[in-house]
Structure 1
């Protein structure tokens, strides 16, 4: 299933994309897409629903595919070729950091360039959405705790991230730095999360091309690993790292985003995003 949320920011309603590409409203069945609505039992009820009985909607806006995630966990340097372009050695264990959830926006919403920013960058990533509580989970059972997958743009301000002291969070958490969606694609429709093509363009120029088969740590390992340190709750998002081609890695000179540019990105089977960059709003 391809689940989504539609409507004005802060007033989105849940919906589903049917086999004919029509968006059908789910607000009569679910209050929203988050928490227990992402459990296996809840998703099974949706699978048994005759979608033709649900009203068709023509949304003006697609929102983030999950409502108010409790945690937005990111994995750094999880592609060896991306680590190389940043001048860092591939990690021996997953590098974890948090992105503040105020960064979450819809897949086609504007992305703000922060005040004082000189190094805002792009990162297409596979997002993993947790559906069932996970604590001390074995790797062999980890994918059973996944509700589905989505496209994430882990927008980053590199100077804030690496040149302002402390950890990475301050460079990852500006408002709009976490577009997710358009869809939450349930795990039964993703045969192998370790074989998905990813891409990202800026102003029509291909910047990133990759495949999840080159991850250092795969999805099952990440879910299991993270669950040893914190309990993963339904609706939590894990952004699993980015392939090479980020702005900071471009030679001979890095290239960064400025207001008025357009990012388009996507992942095989999970849909596409499109964002315009704008100056930060108060």
Structure 2
């Protein structure tokens, strides 16, 4: 099954669909009370009330090379504030003073059970499901690759996530999923989770080795190469095979109002 949260007519609705169902070709979503509404007429929330947000840097060797860094020897992980998350079809601000801001299509792994010291061979037992994230980065604000400052990754609404949370049982091989991005309809990213430097079991084992993981904690697992500068007005689509297609638009400083 897959799950989403939306606001319609001032009320929050939890919607559920079969993995291969949901939004019809005409963009209609079905509310729990049976009403059908256009997906553009609702406010999409992050599909889960997330806890700790872990972010992987340089977890695809091709992306590391793309930005002139070698792949790390150990996972490079940092945290994001909950204010950074926003939903499907939301706008993300590009500050007027920046020279380079790029999107990042990522598979997001959501923890389903409280756990600690999880061995790699049991890692999938503690995963609740998966969603799609687009973790924008502003290179102007980057201090260095291993210590991104707060302005890079914890800006308000800088990380669209969703629209769907897909149960782990419906994703038989999360290490064999295609990731793609489009900018204004032109495809720019095309990668696969097979190319992660540190795979999902390694990440779960690594993080749970020094801290307790809780249901709703989420791991953004990194992005393949193909990132490019995103301008105000651009529509960015990020898609993970079998998980969902996430749409976001770049806004300017008018979003400060």
The verdict on a shared fold, with TM-score over 0.5 as the criterion, is yes
Q: TM-score, normalised by structure 2?
A: 0.88
Asked whether the equivalents of residues 114 and 174 of structure 1 are also in contact (C-alpha less than 8 Å), the reply is no
Equivalent of residue 269 in structure 1, options 224, 242, 248 = 242
Asked whether the equivalents of residues 22 and 30 of structure 2 are also in contact (C-alpha less than 8 Å), the reply is no
Quote the offset at 1:8 in angstroms: 5.5
After superposition, what is the alpha-carbon deviation per residue over 1:129-168, rounded to whole angstroms, capped at 9, x for unaligned? Answer: 11111211111111111110011001111111237x9634
Asked whether the equivalents of residues 97 and 168 of structure 1 are also in contact (C-alpha less than 8 Å), the reply is no
Asked whether the equivalents of residues 127 and 151 of structure 1 are also in contact (C-alpha less than 8 Å), the reply is yes
Residue 133 of structure 2 corresponds to 152
Residue 178 of structure 2 corresponds to 197
Residue 74 of structure 1 corresponds to 55
After superposition, what is the alpha-carbon deviation per residue over 1:34-78, rounded to whole angstroms, capped at 9, x for unaligned? Answer: xxxxxxxxxxxxxxxxxxxx64453522221112x2211101111
Equivalent of residue 112 in structure 1, options 93, 96, 100 = 93
Distance 1:120 1:95 in 2: 21
List alignment gaps of at least 5 residues for structure 2. 24-28
SS at match of 1:275: strand
- Please identify runs of 4+ aligned residues in structure 1 that moved more than 4 A: 8-11, 22-26
Quote the offset at 1:87 in angstroms: 1.1
Equivalent of residue 142 in structure 1, options 123, 126, 129 = 123
Task: Name whichever of 154-163 and 137-146 sits farther off.
Answer: 154-163
- Residue 6 (structure 2) pairs with residue 6 (structure 1): yes
Asked whether the equivalents of residues 3 and 183 of structure 1 are also in contact (C-alpha less than 8 Å), the reply is yes
CA RMSD in angstroms comes to: 2.3
- Residue 192 (structure 2) pairs with residue 208 (structure 1): no
Count residues in correspondence.
246
After superposition, what is the alpha-carbon deviation per residue over 1:7-36, rounded to whole angstroms, capped at 9, x for unaligned? Answer: 15995332102465365556xxxxxxxxxx
List alignment gaps of at least 5 residues for structure 1. 27-53, 248-255
Q: 1:159 to 1:11 in 2, by over 3 A?
A: farther
SS at match of 2:45: coil
Asked whether the equivalents of residues 132 and 233 of structure 1 are also in contact (C-alpha less than 8 Å), the reply is yes
Q: Of Structure 1 and Structure 2, which has the larger fraction of its residues in strand?
A: 2
Q: 1:263 to 1:229 in 2, by over 3 A?
A: same
Distance 1:6 1:208 in 2: 28
Residue 240 of structure 1 corresponds to 221
After superposition, what is the alpha-carbon deviation per residue over 1:101-122, rounded to whole angstroms, capped at 9, x for unaligned? Answer: 1011112111111352222111
SS at match of 2:223: coil
